[in-house]
Structure 1
Amino acid sequence: MTTAAALSSLARLRGVGVSFGDRVALTGVDLDVPGGTLTVVAGPNGAGKSTLLEVVAGVREPTSGTRTASTTIAFVPQRTSVPDGLPVTVRDVVTVGAWGRVGRWRPLDRRARAAVDEALERLHVADLAPRSFAALSGGQRQRALLAHGLARGADLLLLDEPTTGLDADSAQRIRTTLLDEAARGTGVLAVSHDPLLLDAAHLVVRLEGGRVVRGGAGDAEARCGTVAS
């Protein structure tokens, strides 16, 4: 079996630091995100996990160090960051993800429409497609947001606490989908406290006080297969 370390890196951080005024969020972080791998970033609250994800996504510039990525990226937020009154249907939410294939505001071609339908089916939300996104339960919302990310067809999928607060069935559906995406060759990077997702990860990176204390570049807790021993 090919080890995670042997896979190509889709995104790379070297010596990355992030500060917000006097507050230091990240310090000297090295990280490689390989393709075909589920990498989970763990650590206590305030450790800098979400900031790290934002840097990898390219939506936050590091204060120091370098970030490189030569791939398409889909960033799936926590469901709590989406306004409750967003006046769109579930299909609308997933369709926006598919714009990454054809360009913003352009009509979807047949391939993009098929990607939307496949994403809805894979996350078991196809029957909810005409419903208001705001009317969904927490688990349904998170599955719809993941379907949005899958519809983009990106090589690198980033998620912030994808299973937090969800019912058991929704959480398991998301864990299974993330492993399936990694098996397809997608690089998956998720911030999570979920012990089952941590057990399923191929790589685990632990942050404490803005520093990598286990995992990262050259010091990853690597796991071959889908479940750690």
Structure 2
Amino acid sequence: MSLVTTRPQIARLEGVHVELGGRDVLCHVDVVVQRSALTVIAGPNGAGKSTLLEVLAGTRRPSAGLVVRDDASSSFVPQRAAVAERLPVTVRDVVTVGAWGRLGPWRRMDAIARRAVDDALESLGLTALQRRPFSELSGGQRQRALLAQGLARGADLLLLDEPTTALDADSGERIRTAIAAEAGRGTAVVCVTHDLEVIAMADRVIRLEAGRVVGDSITG
């Protein structure tokens, strides 16, 4: 038996169904997410992978079924930056947003939060770029900044939607290294991806097709 089967769970979906615009996007999905493990959600485009991630993140309510999540914090890193091109924010500003989640409302940045931002910037190779406007970054650099934002949150559950898609080799490798490091530190990482290198790193691979789980294999 693989060690991953003994790891405690942090979240699970039971019979989750999502209907959007009269179309079944997820059909009675059962999924278990474990701590200290990288879980990959794989499958063809339109299979419901991103919707599954949104349900886990709590940003989309299922039409039916049960979502159970331990008393744990989560961080959701989308595939593309939802930041206006002309918004005057630096790379450090973007990453600092993640640290606000660990502080709570109306609390000032403390030394621990600032260190979390510094560590996240360093882990993604962004320290030298931290004062640069976010709008000036390349696509790969932007995706690294978004992941750094997620890391700065210090969440127990890290949810990633296609974090290495269409990136340069350096950005892709840095992101894969950061993902592995997070799982190694005890974070539950769930990653939607087509990246064969990320899939090869996974402890568990869940495959979706047409909104249904057609495979759930332990690999780690």
Q: Which TM class, normalised by the smaller chain length?
A: over 0.9
Question: What residue is the counterpart of 2:130 in the other structure?
Answer: 129
Within 2, Cα distance between the matches of 1:65 and 1:103? 30
Query: Does residue 1:31 correspond to 2:27, yes or no?
Result: no
Secondary structure of the structure 2 residue equivalent to 1:87: coil
Q: Which amino acid aligns with 1:116?
A: V
Given that residues 81 and 143 in structure 2 are in contact (C-alpha distance below 8 angstroms), is that contact kept between their aligned partners in structure 1? no
Within 1, Cα distance between the matches of 2:204 and 2:6? 12
Given that residues 27 and 211 in structure 1 are in contact (C-alpha distance below 8 angstroms), is that contact kept between their aligned partners in structure 2? yes
Deviation at 1:104, TM superposition (A): 3.7
Query: Does residue 1:222 correspond to 2:200, yes or no?
Result: no
Q: Alignment identity in percent?
A: 58
| Cα offsets for 1:92-131 (capped at 9, x unmatched) | 0111100011124531111111101010011100111111
Q: Which amino acid aligns with 2:141?
A: Q
Gaps of 5+ in 2: none
Secondary structure of the structure 2 residue equivalent to 1:78: coil
Question: What residue is the counterpart of 2:16 in the other structure?
Answer: 16
Structure 1 segment 59-208 matched on structure 2, within 5 A: 59-70=59-70, 71-208=72-209
Q: Which amino acid aligns with 2:197?
A: L
Q: Which amino acid aligns with 2:29?
A: V
Within 2, Cα distance between the matches of 1:85 and 1:18? 35
Within 1, Cα distance between the matches of 2:54 and 2:219? 25
C-alpha RMSD over aligned residues: 1.3
- Size of the aligned set, in residue pairs, is 219
Secondary structure of the structure 2 residue equivalent to 1:106: coil
Within 2, Cα distance between the matches of 1:184 and 1:31? 22
Secondary structure of the structure 2 residue equivalent to 1:157: strand
Question: What residue is the counterpart of 1:58 in the other structure?
Answer: 58
| Cα offsets for 1:196-227 (capped at 9, x unmatched) | 11111111000000000001xxxxx1122xxx
Given that residues 81 and 146 in structure 2 are in contact (C-alpha distance below 8 angstroms), is that contact kept between their aligned partners in structure 1? no
Given that residues 119 and 147 in structure 1 are in contact (C-alpha distance below 8 angstroms), is that contact kept between their aligned partners in structure 2? yes
Q: Which amino acid aligns with 2:64?
A: S
Within 2, Cα distance between the matches of 1:132 and 1:165? 22
Within 1, Cα distance between the matches of 2:196 and 2:10? 25
Greater CA drift, 149-158 or 98-107: 98-107
Within 2, Cα distance between the matches of 1:50 and 1:111? 32
Secondary structure of the structure 1 residue equivalent to 2:206: strand
With the length of structure 2 as denominator, give the TM-score of the two structures: 0.96
| Cα offsets for 1:55-74 (capped at 9, x unmatched) | 00001000000101121001
Q: Which amino acid aligns with 1:49?
A: K
Within 1, Cα distance between the matches of 2:141 and 2:12? 32
Given that residues 99 and 105 in structure 1 are in contact (C-alpha distance below 8 angstroms), is that contact kept between their aligned partners in structure 2? no
